[in-house]
Every structure is written in C-alpha cells, then in structure tokens.
Structure 1
Amino acid sequence: MDTTLLNALVLAFAGGVLLNFMPCVFPILSLKIISVVRQKSAGDNRILQGCVFYTVGVLATMLALTGVLFIFRTTGNLLGWGFQLQSPFLVTLLLYVTFLLGLSFSGYYEITFGISILGRAGSQNLESFLTGVLSTLIGTPCAAPFMVSAVSFSLLQPGLHSVFIFQFMGLGMVFPYLAFSCIPGAIMLLPKPGKWMEYLKQLLAFPMYLTAAWLLHVLVSQKGVVALFPTICSIIAIAFLTWIIKNVVKSGSTLRDAAALCFTIIFVVTSAMYISKLKVAEDIPIHKGFVAFSEDSLQDLLDKGETVFVAVGAEWCLTCKTNELIINSEAIQRIFHTHGVKQMKADWTNMDSGIAQYLHSMGSSSVPFYVLYVHGRPTTEPIPQIFSEAKLTDFLLRSLTD
C-alpha cells in the first residue's frame, strides 16, 4: 500500500467522521438518535446490534455507489461523487421517504409492518440498516473537510483502491456510534426512557420536513416549476393515503399490513417515475455577474487575456450554497471588480458530461470545485472547497497581486 493511498484512507475516514456534523446528514441522524434512546432498556448488546446493522447499511450503500461509478467509468462515461442526487427519480423518492418519516415522527401514523413480519428485534435491525442506507444516499454529496481530497483521489484510482477509500469513509461515518456502543457502561449516560422520548421524536420530525423541503428545492432546480404542482399533490396524496391506512384499513393482520405497504410503495414509485419524466428545465438561472460555463466560452476568455474565476456547484450541494454566499459577498465581488476578474458558473445539478469531463481534466470528480485562471500564468491553482471570507480574500489577493 503506497503512501498516497494510505493518506487517502486516513482523509476518507476523517471526512466520514466529520460528515456526521454536516447539514445534509444531521437531520437523517434523527432516526439514529431515536433508535439508540429507545433501545436503552434492552441493554448494551441491543444497542451494539443496532449499530452493527447501521454499519452494514452504510458500507453496503457505499459499495453499491462505488460499483455504479466503476461500471460507468469502464464504459467510458464519467460520473462524479454525489451522482445519486443528479437523478430526479431518486431525489423525488428520497423526498417522499423523508416526508413519510416526518409524518411517523409526528405521530401521524406508525410503521408496524416490519414488526408483524420480523418481530420487534428484527424490525429494529431493519430500521437500523435502512437508516444507514438513507444517511449515505443523502449525506455523501456533502463536502466535509478532508473528504473532497480523498474522493477526488479515489475516483482516479483503480477499482479496488476506490472500494477501500469509500469503505473507509463509511467506517468514519459509523465510527462515533460504534465507539459509543462498545464502551462498557456508556449506555448509562443516556437518560431513562419516558414521556420525554415522545416529545423528542415529535421535535425531530421537523429536521425531516426540512430535508424534504430541501429535496423539493433540488427537484424544482432540476425540472423547473413544472414539477412543483404534481410533487405537492403527490405529497398531499401520500399524507391522505397514510391517514386511510391508519383509520380505515388499520393494522392487525400481516396480510393487510403487507397489502397496504405494497400499495404505498407502488404509489410512491409511480409518482416519482412520472415526475422524473417531466421535461428538464432548459434555462438554469445564473447569478448576476456570472457567465454560464462552457469549455469553449472559457477558452475564448483565456485567449483574450482575461483572468477567469470558475465555480462548479450544484443545488443539492449545501456546501456549494454556503460558499456562494461568501463568493457573492460585497468584499469578494469588490476584489473581482477591481482586478477585472470574469466569473463563470457551471451548474452540475443535473448530469452534464461536459462538466464531468472538465472536472476530470482538472483532477477532480466532485463539487464544490473552484479554480482561478490568472492571465499570464501557465498553471492554475484550484481553490480549497471549504473556506471563509477571510481565507478566500487572502487567496485571491495573493494570486492576483503576485
């Protein structure tokens, strides 16, 4: 194992740990918090078992995502990390799932099918596994510190190296929970179960609703306003469907629960397929002061001797949106204006082979990505993906005045 790969593994693990504190993952971890607190009465072994199934869910999903990336790469197609949120179908599906989870947390309905089929312990194990799957699907497009370097390196490596790096990232994601569950007596640090648990569960419904709202924003960015009305109608229909299942169908028999669950799944998947087939929005809004990116336009500006700042981001990338606030700040825009810097924005919300090829040529496969082309210099220096206004100001002034 060479030093570069070893460094990438360490960065991937550290990035995975920090991913737990990123805004895209934190709402989903409401599921894990509730699960751990609820399992206190069952003892240390029950919590450890739940963490093991959560780990399997995370690592299995990481392996599946890596496999898809590898398959596309071997067929000559370039995908970047976070590609799952470039699929309107999957975005819509995740939107419905997080909304349903929010309804469940709010006490609107309770999922009982898993208990009737698998028993309570088996149902909790399945819940832990699916929490791992959901956390990985929604959380991995976030750019945590250390993670971007590891991802960019891994996507340019042979398949086996990529698998190792992404598995280490998954291990980083689950490490805090595994460490907690393996510490003897750590469970005693948790408060005793009681009425407060129900209040906590209801409180944690709101991050789930917020996640659903964010996914709706991503979907509208991908498909345009035309997707808004059918999606909202589908959300209302899902709420109505769960109300019917709770108050009319009711639970009690395995067959009845199975039929209700299958009908709900069919409706959710069919609705997601319909919305994903809607015509893609052609005109993606570009912030004032930016020029829409294309390699030809970039080359034209460089041929004219212009200094160009290129920003590659996506609506589903919360780190990108945070960085946009800094880039659009008065201080940064003043620097661009003073030094005559042209600004280009590449929106990777939807799959775009041109942007993927450009990122690949720059040695990256994920967003956010920023680079400054300074007139008269043969080389370019990518800008760190996570920065403060002070750090970006310092970088720009050094690059533009040297």
Structure 2
Amino acid sequence: MVKLLKNTIKTFVIAVLSVVVFIHNVHSYEASSEWDVGPKAKARLLSSIKSVGNHNVILIGVEVKLKPGWKTYWRSPGESGMPPKLDFSKSSNLKSTNLEWPAPSRFIFEGLKMNGYKDEIVFPVQIEPVNIGEAIDIRVLLDVLACKDICIPHSMKLGLHLPSGKSYETKYAELIRKYKDLVPGKLNSDGLEITSYRQKGSILKAIYSSNFIFDNPEFFIETQDKLKFIRNKVEILNKGKLLVAEWRLEKEREKPDNSTDQLSNVTLTLVDGNRSVESHLKIQDDIIKTNGLLGLSFNYISMIFIAFCGGLILNLMPCVFPVLSIKLLSVINSFGESRKRIRSSFFITSLGIIFSFLILGLCASIAKAAGYTFGWGIQFQQPLFIISIIIILTLFAANLWGFFEINLPARILKFSLAISDSKNASGSFFQGAFATILATPCTAPFVGTSVSFAIAGSISETLTIFVSLGLGMALPFLLIGLFPGLANKLPKPGYWMIWIKIILGFCLFGTAIWFLTIIKYQVSNEAAYLVGLLMGLIVLLFKINKRLKPFNQKIISLVVLIIICLSFFVPRVLSPFNSIETISRNDVTSHWNKFNYFSINQHVKDGKVVIVDVTAKWCITCQLNKQRVFQSKEVEKVIKNEDVIAMRADWTTPDIKITEYLSTFDRFGVPFNVVYGPGFKTGLILPELLSVSSLFSAIEQTGYKKVKASKE
C-alpha cells in the first residue's frame, strides 16, 4: 500500500512538472515572432512579457542576426552606411514607441570609419498601449542594411500579438535587458560620467570621471547638419580614472540665412568596453561659424596683444623688484656716459629678457611634444631651484653692501659679479635673464590667459606668445634704449647712493628671506633655518674678507664655495617623510577643505556652490588674493555657510592631480580660481587678480542666491 502511494505521488509530481515545462515553453514561444530570413540577415520580435497585464509601458526587442563577419549600423552610421529603420504604423492599440540604441563599435573599411554592430544585436523598444490592459498587435516594417565587402539592403515584416491577461516574464526578458543595459545613459552604474565640458572657439573639450580605470575609450559625436569634429587628443589622468578629450571643428556647417539659432546640439557618447555614457551638449554656433582663417587670425592677434600687456604688467610685480632695483642703480651710475653706451646696455638687457622668454617657449614646446606637462613657474616647486635663487640674491645683496670689491677666483662668484655689473654686455644680458626667472612665479593679469593659449597652441603660436610676453616686459628697458637721454634726468651720483645701495641690499636680502619661507613649507622649518644661517655666514665671511690678506681671502672664497655646495644638500638631509601632507595641513583651515576633484560634481548635484582656489606659497599674486579676498570678513562669512564648499589646492610642491586639474582648463599656472554651482556646473573661471566683488558675482552667477544675505 505504501509503495503504491509513493508511486502515485511520484507520477503526479512528474505530471505537474511536465505541464509546467510545457506551458513555459508554449509561453516562451508565443513571446517571439517567427524569423524573417534575408540573404545575409534575419530578424524577429521579442517580448519581455507574455500578456499585457496592466502595464502602461512594455519592453520588447527587435533581434537582428547577421551572417558571420557581416555588420549593420548604429543610429549615426559614420562616414558610410545607413541606420536601421522601424515602422510601427500598422500596429493596433499602440500609442507610442521608443527605440533605444545599444552602444556601438567602430569599424574601419578602406579608410572609412563606421559605427555599428557585428553578428547580432537586439534593439530594445519601449511601447505604450492606447488602452491599458487590452491586447496589442505589433506590426513592424524593418529596413536594415547588412554589410561586409558589399552592402545588401533587407526589408523585413515582423509581427507579434500580445494578448490581454495576467503578465509574466518570458525567457527573452533577460536577453532584452542585457542589451538595454548597453544603452548609454547619463550616468553609468560604476560612476562613469561627464563632469564638465567647455568650448573655446572651434575647440570642444570634455572631462570624464570613473570609479574604475579607463580601458579602451571610444567616442562617438553626433551633431546637427553634419557639423564635424576631429579628435585632437585624449589624455587619461589621475591613475586612469580621469579622462580629458578634445576635438576641433573641421569645417563650417551651412546654416540657412533665416536661421537665428546660436546654439547647436551635440550628442557625445563615450564607450569603454561594456560601459558607456551619453551626454547632450550645447555649443556656440555663432563662434563655430567664425572658425575660418579670419576668426582664428583675429583671436591669435588679440592674444599676442594680451601677452604683450601681461609682460608689461610683470614689471610692476614684486617678484621682479630685485633686478629692477639693480638696474635702477645702473641707470644712476650711467650719468654722464655716452648715449651709445647707455643705449647698448639697455638694449642688451632687453635682449636678455626676450631671449629668456624664447627659451621658456622652446622648453614648453619640447615638454608638450614629449608628452610632459609644462607649467608657468613650476621650477619654483623644486627646493634646489629656490636655494639657487636665495644664494644669488644673497650675493647680490652682499655686492650692493660693498663686500665684493675683491677678485674672487670662483666662477660662480664671478658670474654673480657680472650680473650686478651693467657696464659689460654679459652683465646687462644676465640682468634681463634673471629678471625673467624671477618673473615666472608671478601670474599677473593677462599672463595666465596668454600662457595657457600659448601652451595649448602650435609651436609657432607658443613661441610667438612667449616672445610677446618678453617684449612687454622689456618695454621699459627698450624705451630707455631708444631715448637714452632719460638717464640724464635722474639725480647725479653722490653720497646719497651709498644709502640707496644699503636699502636696496636689504630689499634683496628680504626677498631671499621670503624665499626661505617657501623652503619652510616645501621641506621643513629646520631646513629653512639652516639655509638662512648658511647665507648669513656667507655675508659675514664677505664682510671680514675685506680686511684679510690675499692668501687668506682665497681661503675665505673657498669656504664660501663649500657653504654654497652644502646648501644644496640641506633639503635631502632635513626633508620630512611627507612634506606635501604637511603643506596641506598648514594650508587647510576649518572652513577650507583639501582639494578633491571627484567630489565637486556630487556637491553641485546636491545644490551646493564649490569654490576652488589653486595656489602656491611662491606665487605672490596667490598670497595677495588670499589676504585681500579669501581672508576678508565678507568672504569668510559666505564660506562658513553650509551650502558653500571651499577647496584649496596647494601647488607649492609638485602634485600631479593639481597639474592635471589645471590642464583640463588649459591652464598651466597659478593663481587659478573656479566657482561651480547648479547654474554653472562646468565651472566659472575667475580673473587672476581677485576682488571680493568679482568672487561674489561669480557665486551669484552659479545659482547661489543666499550670498546677498550672507554679505549683509
């Protein structure tokens, strides 16, 4: 009896399972249409559900299978081909359809670039019924082009009936969702997204971030009226998680005469393996229309003028003062000399300035060609370079105080004497060169803009802009060279010059002390104190050197050289293990956060305003902005607001993340300040020389309306 009962239960279970499997197979079969087979491709309709149920939107798929090696096209086929076309007009109870395009691949055939799919593709389609709950009769006319060595058009008729009734998933649901996941969206699940984009004339730049390393990124650009962009470059930064892409306009779009639109829509799709993201951008159409030779020529000429003005303003920056003070003394000492000699001296100094800027331009071009990043003033990030400047300034000061009246055998000391002596050609030339070196940490108004344009441009543009900067800075010297009679308008030399030399010597020594504070931040307090002590010892040795016999003077000179050599070993001996973190801690206050590029986009999405201050201790303009603007009571009150995030990026020492961040804006020097907000997600760049009003104006433009209340 028990055995019979077991057999009965077993038979019943098998029968039930068989019925379930049969029903499942029947349902799965009914959820797809028959294949419509063509010469090189076949197609059918798939549905994710068996019956319509109460869904107001139903996901179906159009599956296309091609012969091995054959391809069909994406919605934007590229330089050849035709995208598939689907006509649902013969369907019943169908209100609307939304065809989605999975991310394509790029194919190259005989030099033509094409976008599409190989072997197999499922196009997800979201359909909406007229009457929810009623049966839907789907009828599709599909036109698809299959290509290999030749292209064969296929026209296929597909049909699928979805009855009314309770809905449940079919076996095709997973396949349709698989391809739907390949449709590019605004934000990928692993954090792949476009963080900002900007346009500069005919150049379009887009910046992407990702939680994972970029593998093989490929871009697809769709524009109106066949507006075409050619990719300039793609850089992968921040250990593979930041991507900067740049394109230039190849030809103008032909726009109807009666059109008044000034914006063009651009759809930018990034595909990286199995992940992708799509962005819809708006670019300035009126700027694109002036992309021809005339537009570029005007932009180029205007930038040359801006560079010239920036170089002229550099003469007013405090970092150039030491050399200007020495040149001032040379003007006074030239009283009564021939016009020819005065003219020659100032022309040679001008030549030293212009030649030095030309060398900087060549260095920038070589670094760019080699794939390295060039920055304005980056040599001041190196402690050894700072120590070299401190030594030269100390020697200058000692010379002005009268401690250099002997002939020292060492080349480096002879070199310093030559620089301070304007009566010989080499001295005048190196005065100009040294003035250029001291000018590089200063980003005066117009300098940052012109340097960024130069470094981002061609070699000829780079050299021209740098020479224009040099001409601007050399203008005062050129004027005296052209009109040497101006030198005779100054007071005659006399006893008063001794006091002037002493005062100027202290100014030079004060500049050296300021550079010591940079050593303090770059290396350590002990290193700054030791270098300062060694420089003081050099001055003391020069002082007592005057009273010694010639043999003893040579010994003192040798000791000075040894001290100079020892100074260069100080950073290595007294450097802490993590000086960069020390700088960050010293420079970040309770209301200023450490710079984090990847958090900016999220803060903006949360409706906050983000202020980014890229600064450096050796940048005088940066420190001026900090004291006059960021440390003002009005600005501090705004920064304390919970809706404002202030970030400070310290570039005093080399930091690849900050360098890469600057390069995304085509900027290569500091100061650099940007304000982000809901109204300006890509960032609003501020002028190099800040004011409280310009900062508040930028904050308001980015969509933060509480700034007025905070100021009151």
TM-score scaled by length of structure 1: 0.89
The 3 A distance-change label for structure 1 pair 350 and 184 is closer
- 8 Å contact 1:309–1:372 — kept in the other structure? yes
Q: What is residue 296 of structure 1 aligned with on the other side?
A: 598
Name the CA distance, whole Å, in 2 between partners of 1:322 and 1:18.
16
Letter in structure 1 aligned against 2:582: D
Q: Please list the CA deviations of residues 121-154 of structure 1 after superposition, one character each: whole Å capped at 9, or x if unmatched.
A: 8863222222212211112221222222111111
In the TM superposition, 1:286-325 aligns within 5 A as 286-288=587-589, 289-302=591-604, 304-325=606-627
C-alpha deviation, 1:39, in angstroms:
1.5
Q: Does 1:201 align with 2:501?
A: yes
Name the CA distance, whole Å, in 1 between partners of 2:652 and 2:400.
30
In the TM superposition, 1:201-220 aligns within 5 A as 201-220=501-520
Letter in structure 1 aligned against 2:645: K
Q: Does 1:383 align with 2:686?
A: yes
Letter in structure 2 aligned against 1:271: S
In the TM superposition, 1:1-400 aligns within 5 A as 2-110=297-405, 112=407, 124-183=424-483, 185-243=485-543, 245-248=545-548, 250=550, 264-265=560-561, 267-275=563-571, 278-279=574-575, 281=579, 282-284=581-583, 285-288=586-589, 289-302=591-604, 304-325=606-627, 326-338=629-641, 340-375=643-678, 377-400=680-703
- 8 Å contact 2:530–2:570 — kept in the other structure? no
Name the CA distance, whole Å, in 2 between partners of 1:243 and 1:201.
16
Secondary structure of the structure 2 residue equivalent to 1:400: coil
C-alpha deviation, 1:244, in angstroms:
5.2
Name the CA distance, whole Å, in 2 between partners of 1:262 and 1:67.
36
Secondary structure of the structure 2 residue equivalent to 1:109: coil
Name the CA distance, whole Å, in 2 between partners of 1:184 and 1:54.
14
Structure 1: which 5+ residue stretches go unaligned? none
Secondary structure of the structure 1 residue equivalent to 2:526: helix
- 8 Å contact 1:241–1:264 — kept in the other structure? yes
Name the CA distance, whole Å, in 2 between partners of 1:178 and 1:263.
40
272-281 or 4-13, which moves further after superposition?
Answer: 272-281
Letter in structure 1 aligned against 2:615: G
58-67 or 78-87, which moves further after superposition?
Answer: 58-67
Secondary structure of the structure 2 residue equivalent to 1:4: helix
C-alpha deviation, 1:269, in angstroms:
4.1
176-185 or 30-39, which moves further after superposition?
Answer: 176-185
- 8 Å contact 2:445–2:687 — kept in the other structure? no
**What is the RMSD computed on CA atoms of the aligned residues?**
2.8
More helix by share: 1
- 8 Å contact 1:323–1:387 — kept in the other structure? yes
Letter in structure 2 aligned against 1:312: V
Secondary structure of the structure 1 residue equivalent to 2:320: coil
Letter in structure 1 aligned against 2:567: S
C-alpha deviation, 1:318, in angstroms:
0.6
- 8 Å contact 1:53–1:129 — kept in the other structure? yes
Letter in structure 2 aligned against 1:188: N
Name the CA distance, whole Å, in 2 between partners of 1:332 and 1:71.
41
Letter in structure 2 aligned against 1:6: I
C-alpha deviation, 1:21, in angstroms:
0.8
The 3 A distance-change label for structure 1 pair 189 and 283 is same
- 8 Å contact 1:105–1:202 — kept in the other structure? yes
- 8 Å contact 2:347–2:481 — kept in the other structure? no
C-alpha deviation, 1:217, in angstroms:
0.9
C-alpha deviation, 1:360, in angstroms:
0.5
Identity across matched positions, percent:
29
Secondary structure of the structure 2 residue equivalent to 1:333: helix
319-328 or 222-231, which moves further after superposition?
Answer: 222-231
Q: Please list the CA deviations of residues 342-387 of structure 1 after superposition, one character each: whole Å capped at 9, or x if unmatched.
A: 0100000011111111000022111101111103644321111112
Secondary structure of the structure 2 residue equivalent to 1:201: helix
Name the CA distance, whole Å, in 2 between partners of 1:267 and 1:66.
34
C-alpha deviation, 1:26, in angstroms:
1.9
Q: Please list the CA deviations of residues 136-192 of structure 1 after superposition, one character each: whole Å capped at 9, or x if unmatched.
A: 111222122222211111111122211111111111111112112312632331222
266-275 or 60-69, which moves further after superposition?
Answer: 266-275
The 3 A distance-change label for structure 1 pair 248 and 297 is farther
Name the CA distance, whole Å, in 2 between partners of 1:306 and 1:292.
17
Asked which structure has the greater RCO (Cα within 8 Å, sep 6+), the reply is 1
Letter in structure 2 aligned against 1:75: A
The 3 A distance-change label for structure 1 pair 150 and 266 is farther
355-364 or 301-310, which moves further after superposition?
Answer: 301-310
Name the CA distance, whole Å, in 1 between partners of 2:370 and 2:484.
49
Name the CA distance, whole Å, in 1 between partners of 2:567 and 2:639.
45
C-alpha deviation, 1:276, in angstroms:
5.5
TM-score scaled by length of structure 2: 0.52
Structure 2: which 5+ residue stretches go unaligned? 1-295, 409-413, 706-712
- 8 Å contact 2:588–2:594 — kept in the other structure? no
- 8 Å contact 1:93–1:269 — kept in the other structure? no
Secondary structure of the structure 2 residue equivalent to 1:204: helix
Q: Please list the CA deviations of residues 25-50 of structure 1 after superposition, one character each: whole Å capped at 9, or x if unmatched.
A: 12331111011111222222111111
Name the CA distance, whole Å, in 2 between partners of 1:121 and 1:212.
20
Letter in structure 2 aligned against 1:307: V
Letter in structure 2 aligned against 1:190: L
The 3 A distance-change label for structure 1 pair 224 and 298 is farther
